[in-house]
Amino acid sequence: MTNIISKSSYLFIILIILTGCKGNDGSPDDYKNPKLNVPERVENLLSQMTLREKVGQMTQVERGEIQITTIKDNVLGSILNGGGSSPGDSPEDWADMYDQFQEQAMATRLGIPIIYGTDAVHGHNNVKGATIFPHNIGLGCTRNPELIQQINEITALEVAATGIDWTFAPAIPVVRDERWGRTYESFGETPELAALLGEAAIQGLQFSNGEKIAACAKHFIGDGGTNGGHDQGNTILSESELREIHLPGYKAAVDQGVYTVMASYSSWNGTKVHGSDYLLTTVLKDELGFDGFVISDWAAVDQLPGNYSDQVEKAINAGVDMVMVPYDYQKFISTLLELIDDEKISIERIDDAVSRILTVKFKLGLFEEPFTNRDLLPEIGKASHREVARNAVRESLVLLKNDSSVLPISKSSSRIMISGKNADNLGYQMGGWSIYWQGGSGDITEGTSILEGIREVFTKDVDYNINGNGASGADVAVAVIGETPYAEGAGDKTDLSLSSTDINLVKSLKSQGVPVVVVLISGRPLILDPILDDADAIIAAWLPGTEGIGVADVLFGDYNPTGKLSVSWPRSNAQIPINVGDANYDPLYEYGYGLSY
């Protein structure tokens, strides 16, 4: 009889642990009550969670790995899509996918909703038909925080229309070397721009009067200052330099209330940021007071020293709260459970991480409204959003040269010639992170190429020849040249020279006896010396997104250019890196430079 009672008592204790029975202290359903404050709801829910459920909340998995019961069976806390990973061609496909995933999460024991993350870095850029804005390098030239907030309010609305509740944006690196393949994701080379415009982006995403999604300040810290501009490289700086250049943007983001921060792949003086408890906990969480959660970058934990167990232990103890696995989630879950069982990671660290994650989910209202609001679907890519994008293009353009006032082009001109590989290629003008991770070529989504925009603004004779043949006799020739799309390390380059094709095109146009206007499509400054004498006017158009008509507005004087350089423009490859404040500062065009008509 004694043994039976003991066994029953034991089973009762286990039942209490598993179900989180709170006795007279409150109801197990208190966390579902929106009238309670967020800390109370978090405490109530956390007290009911098993260790396995907590570890599930810390796990983020790529959407392509999710089967019909994956989320439910593994009590996963988060899903993401990598660049170019898509459920289909329409916004409805995205909404359907999100709701199917969320149904699994709501069917778990405690019904904790997932939070879904996507790289909506210049609009909802993974979704065909969405409004795609200029990349940050161009937006930095606007110096206009109100515009950046408006852009991000629209982005939040279009993202929310597909159910998604979290974007891995804004990127707020301070780019110090244009050879870096992610230069265009930066607002510019000064901490002031990162702070001013990053703060505005977060306000638009998280705190607008319309739909709100979680923002993510990235990549903490120093990724724009790596040696040689190598992506995921080593930032070699003293702590005072790191704080002076690369920390202000994050301080502004934390002060603004950003919900999440993504750790950087890069290292600081040889130590990977993902494994630095000093940077992630002491500086970010303790000193700056960041109370959201830290997300790792894509499989970045795997880059830490040691075996996989060592890597997970180091990252979690350093302060990473959620791990972007993204594929072998079962290995991550089992490894983390073993580390906790071996007391290499404390339950206090786990509870801290999960509390931070749950706090964001409660703040977003996911427990009350977990599914897609399909009434928002018509908002995606609508005309008023594209008008804002068109204006963003106009404000981002920088007029670098305008000899003999060849610009603006007169609308009374009888004939103009348009040429260049970037003139009629929507994919090229959007750059990387546009429908596909590395971007693409041609009409990969809905939008207006620069040539199409010119034909809309100038209704007379517009000739187009990609090679510039037949320009003789035209009133003016416009050469739209520059880079083709890339993203991350694939864009790292030691030579930022124009291609021989682009150089030869400009020279050919000049030889035909017509004034030549160069429109440069690029994610960074390129070396202009070979065409400086042949181009009568040069416009830095950056990566303008889907609304190429904004370029035409500037070309024909419907908008007087106001953009000011967010980065210094080097004279030659040998001059890179060059930044305002350098001891021997002699750029081709200085930081803040920009002409008007």
Residues forming the active site? 297, 488
DSSP codes, 565-581? -SS-B-SSGGG-S--TT
Residue among 163, 18, 60, 113 nearest 358 (CA) = 113
pLDDT of residue 7: 37
Burial of 1 (0-12, 13-18, 19+ CB in 10 A): exposed
Tell me which amino acid residue 490 is.
A
pLDDT of residue 21: 41
Whether omega for the bond prior to residue 191 falls within 30 degrees of 0, making it cis, is: no
pLDDT of residue 1: 35
567-594: buried (b, 16+ CB within 10 Å) or exposed (e) per residue?
bbbbbeeebbbbbeeeeeeebbbebebb
Contact 406, 556 (CB under 8 A): no
- Whose tokens are 């187009």? That residue is 464
Helix-strand-coil percent breakdown of the chain, rounded to 5? 40, 15, 45
Q: Which residues contact 482 (CB under 8 A, 6 or more apart)?
A: 422, 428, 498, 502, 520, 521, 522, 526
pLDDT of residue 297: 98
Cα separation of the two ends of the chain: 97
Q: Which two tokens stand for residue 233?
A: 């490289």
Show the 3-state SS of 548-560.
CHHHHHHHCCCCC
pLDDT of residue 11: 38
Tell me which amino acid residue 458 is.
F
Whether omega for the bond prior to residue 219 falls within 30 degrees of 0, making it cis, is: yes
pLDDT of residue 208: 85
Beta strands in 18-177 (DSSP E): 59-62, 78-80, 115-118, 166-167
Kindly state the DSSP code that residue 262 receives in the 8-state scheme: E
pLDDT of residue 25: 55
How far is residue 379's CA from residue 87's CA, in Å, rounded to a whole number?
20
Contact 21, 15 (CB under 8 A): yes
Burial of 27 (0-12, 13-18, 19+ CB in 10 A): exposed
Kindly state the DSSP code that residue 291 receives in the 8-state scheme: -
- Which value, in Å, is the radius of gyration of the alpha carbons in the chain? 26
**pLDDT by residue, tens only, the chain of 597 residues:** 334 334 334 433 443 444 444 433 579 999 999 999 999 999 999 999 999 999 999 999 999 999 999 999 999 999 999 999 999 999 999 999 999 999 999 999 999 999 999 999 999 999 999 999 999 999 999 999 999 999 999 999 999 999 999 999 999 999 999 999 999 999 999 999 999 999 999 999 999 888 899 999 999 999 999 999 999 999 999 999 999 999 999 999 999 999 999 999 999 999 999 999 999 999 999 999 999 999 999 999 999 999 999 999 999 999 999 999 999 999 999 999 999 999 999 999 999 999 999 999 999 999 999 999 999 999 999 999 999 999 999 999 999 999 999 999 999 999 999 999 999 999 999 999 999 999 999 999 999 999 999 999 998 989 999 999 999 999 999 999 999 999 999 999 999 999 999 999 999 999 999 999 999 999 999 999 999 999 999 999 999 999 999 999 999 999 999 999 999 999 999 999 999 999 999 999 999 999 999
Domains detected in the chain: 82-100+120-378 (3.20.20.300), 397-575 (3.40.50.1700)
Contact 265, 320 (CB under 8 A): no
